[in-house]
Structure 1
Amino acid sequence: MTSTSRPVHILAFPNVQLLDVTGPLQVFASANVHAAEHGLPAPYSPAVIGREDGSVVSSAGLGLLTHPLPTTPSDTLIVAGGWGVHQALRDEALLTWVKAHALSARRVASVCTGAFLLAEAGVLDGHRVVTHWDSCTELAQRYPALQVDPEPIFINEGALWTSAGVTAGIDLALALVEADLGRAVALAVARDLVVFLKRPGGQSQFSTALSMQHATRSQDSRFGDLHAWILDNLASDLSVATLAAKVGMSERSFVRHYRAHTGNTPARAIEQLRVEAARRLLGDSALPIKRIADRCGFGTEETLRRSFLRTVSVTPQAYRERFSAS
């Protein structure tokens, strides 16, 4: 590493979530590889740090070699999460170090339940933050000075970044790389990691399809199969009559059972799935918006625009300008 490399310290502890550490670590390492391929110095000096004697064991059972807690400032301090964080909260020496080091770092971030450690150190007071969806209620109850938003993948407020669980740490790290080195480099790193999509922070922690799968997994399996079929046939006739026939119900019975099992109407669910598909195409392709509207089953560009405004609160064109990979 060169003297211009930014020190990135990822804090680990016993029973840390493995991917909370290795996901962001690989993003910064890949950014260094990208720089080397272009004859440039390494932009980052990433290191896993911890209080243990040279290693910690993750909750997956895999050991991680760690560097001692640094005495020099971090450019970026990232606190990983995992169920071991609650034991780490009782480590007064670690909390003291986190509080002092957060003040000297250019920016501070948490992945998943690492937010608890930053909150216990007082770093998050007064800020809008996020953590893993399953821990948001606990975080809000335990630290009332925080504004916990359970929806986004990650949130950035100035020098402070917090992210949702596990793979969201990769999205956060990509956003940090983008802030430092530009969008083109961040997208190159995402491609290198074969990340399906460099997701914007405001995107929900759950995709529409995943939310529907979760809602129906313990209910009527016919609806799970139906959702899979809908995703493969977004441009087809998805009227209530068609959907009811697919699951062998009368239209009235289908609408009643569907709403009871998913909490949504068929029309609203289909609109959400079509909007999500359109978002992917707007971000990842150069297809004209009219073509996207047709491919996703909206029929007309105006119908797509109205659905986008209702669901995402921006127009398709504005979304493409903000999130397009081109």
Structure 2
Amino acid sequence: MTQRKVPGPPLVATRRIVILGLPPVDALDVIGPAEVFTMANRLRGTASPPYVLELLASGADVHLASESGIALRAHRTLEQERRGSRPIDTLIVASGFNPEQSLDRTAINWIRTRSRSVRRICSICVGAFALADAGLLDGRRATTHWGMAKRLAELYPAVQVDANPIWVKDGNVYTSAGISAGIDLALALVADDLGNETALEIAKNLVLFLRRPGGQAQFSVSLRAQQGLGSRLEELRAWISEHLHVDLTVEVLADRLSTSVRTLIRMFERELDTTPAKYVEEVRLEAVCRALELGGRSLEEIGRRCGYRSVDVLRKAFVRRLGISPREYSQRFATGARADADAAGGVSVRPGTVAPAALRAASRRPHRGG
């Protein structure tokens, strides 16, 4: 693997990144972020690396049990860290998928105490339960693996739980969704420290399809809809995706499926927990986001291809569903892009940039993954 050294901001003192494992951890929640910081050190290629990474085990010894049965060896125990406390720049908390079994009181109290002196404190996946138990998420917006979001909200009603995004930043507290989202969060931390170019180079070396910003949904409309595979809606969903530019009223869809409007509505509600109209809008908006990722087209052309009668209609749909305008969306999420309005108020995104499919859609079907 060829690694290109990436210039970054002026060097600062090496930052100490500490990952605290609450056993049994999900191994990827630890290894994923760790590889990001390790790759950052390799790419900078300096005598003074930007990060020193340490893994702490909250148990009695350095052997850290994982849910997969693959043992991890920590650099030190939490007790050893407490006796020789050194400054921590970023504290990251990881646990297993049954977090209530991992809420060791000594660890929780230590997290609460150290949170007052660290620059950033983060959780990977259901490690958010530890931050919440320490009171660090009270009054804050936070996320976790979507399959555990309801439980987090039930146990800690003071937390503003959002099951949709892959990671959330509220002040100096970061929480991420399941499994692979920890890598995205670590990339965002590196981008803050060393610049976006370094984070993108790390993503390329880790062979990631793209670096996902925090506002991106934990999974796409298409993935959510796959729970309906094998039903009569499967063929209709494929047809919708291929015909976004045509009139897709509920009557048109019912006729396509050779059924009544009432029956079609019941099918969508039963199998996808939505209505035909809402599903079509979600797919259209996701297609718009994909078009912005590819770049090279005005918002007017994108809207026409995706079934919007005008830029104004598309803009209103964006604001209603995503809470921001197409221009703001592009400026916020298109990495390294320059969003320029055309004469019609459209958005032009430079080819090769990335924008997320940040639709407010969530499945209720349990699924393990990020």
Question: What's the TM-score, normalizing by structure 1?
Answer: 0.85
Measured in 1, the distance between the counterparts of 2:71 and 2:236 equals: 43
- 140 and 296 in structure 1: CA distance in 2 versus 1, 3 angstrom threshold: same
| SS of alignment partner, residue 108 of structure 1 | strand
In structure 1, the partner of 2:240 is 230
- Mapped to 1, the partners of 2:321 and 2:235 lie a distance apart of 24
Alignment of 1:1-326 (within 5 A): 4-36=13-45, 41-52=48-59, 53-68=61-76, 69=78, 70=81, 71-89=85-103, 91-214=104-227, 216=228, 221-235=231-245, 238-240=248-250, 243-244=253-254, 246-251=256-261, 253-298=263-308, 300-325=310-335, 326=337
Distance 2:14 2:51 in 1: 4
Instruction: Tell me, yes or no, if the aligned pair for 1:14 and 1:84 is still in contact at 8 Å.
Output: no
Distance 1:35 1:272 in 2: 41
Instruction: Specify which structure has the bigger relative contact order, considering alpha-carbon pairs within 8 angstroms and separated by 6 or more residues.
Output: 2
Count of aligned positions: 319
Q: Secondary structure at the match of 2:17?
A: strand
TM-score, normalised with respect to structure 2: 0.76
Cα distance, 1:257–1:175 mapped onto 2, change above 3 Å: same
Q: Distance in 1 between matches of 2:260 and 2:50?
A: 61
Given that residues 24 and 102 in structure 2 are in contact (C-alpha distance below 8 angstroms), is that contact kept between their aligned partners in structure 1? no
Over the aligned positions, Cα root-mean-square deviation in angstroms equals 2.7
**Greater helix percent: which structure?**
1
Can you give the 5+ residue segments of structure 1 that lack an aligned partner in the other structure? none
Q: Show structure 2 runs of 5+ residues with no match.
A: 1-10, 338-370
1:196-242: CA deviation from partner (whole Å, max 9, x where unpaired) = 3333323333322233334x36xx71223432443344345645465
Amino acid across the alignment from 2:102? A
Corresponding residue for residue 351 of structure 2: none
Question: What is the CA deviation profile of residues 71-120 of structure 1, one whole-angstrom value per residue up to 9, with x for unaligned ones?
Answer: 2121111001323532321x333233322322221110011111111222
One-letter amino acid of the structure 2 residue matched with residue 293 of structure 1: G
What do the CA deviations read for 1:41-75 (whole angstroms, capped 9, x no partner)? Answer: 53222232213422212112222121113321211
Letter in 1 for 2:72: L
- Whole-angstrom CA distance in 1 between matches of 2:208 and 2:294: 12
Report the identity percentage.
42
Whether the 8 Å CA contact 1:113–1:135 is kept in 2: the answer is yes
Within 2, Cα distance between the matches of 1:265 and 1:84?
Answer: 34
* 1:204 aligned counterpart, secondary structure: coil
Task: Go from structure 1 to structure 2 and tell me whether the alpha carbon gap of 1:300 and 1:146 turns closer, same or farther (over 3 Å shift).
Answer: closer
